[in-house]
Structure 1
Amino acid sequence: VVSLLFRALDLESDSLCRYDYVDVYDGHINGQRLGRFCGTAKPGALVTNGNKMQVVMVSDANTAGSGFLAVYSAIRPNERGNEATNLLQSKYRNWAFPVI
């Protein structure tokens, strides 16, 4: 099971998240979408049912925030801890979110 926790979120704000957003999927992009996030309101921990999670960031290249910072970890199916083992980061100037 994969857990993802946003530590920072600063994307263009829009009530429908139409312009800049992060989608998080349980498994692949064809799986259940766990959420679409924009603006600065961070969701709680997102947890998959299996061992895969896909994170997709979309930007319209106009108004930009500073991006996002999230940590992910592998947890046992019955755990809901937030112990981070890896870091996922986005910065608009790089147009990428490398795993560090």
Structure 2
Amino acid sequence: MAEPVSAAVFAAISDPLRLALLVALERRPSTPAELATLTSAREPVVERALSVLHDAGLVKTASGGDRRFRTTGRGWSDVAGALILLDRASRPAQDESEDA
């Protein structure tokens, strides 16, 4: 049985900046400076947001030479999959005549 998603995870993804960071990191690993440029947020704000996401198990850190990249963690894959399923379940069923 899958482990339930914790309240910390829901709190972490409830913030628009943190969600935008997750979406960006899903595309490619990035440094906090790159994420700050991408989101137009100040780097200290991005660092705090990444800390919250890390504590919730949604982001991990990887080193590449002298740079520290952030990437999505395993927790994000689980949450993203659950959100997709919830979105699909919330949509009205299509009439079979529409598929023809």
Give yes or no for TM over 0.5. no
TM bin, normalised by shorter chain, reads under 0.3
Larger RCO (CA within 8 A; separation ≥ 6): 1
TM-score scaled by length of structure 1: 0.23
**Higher helix proportion:** 2
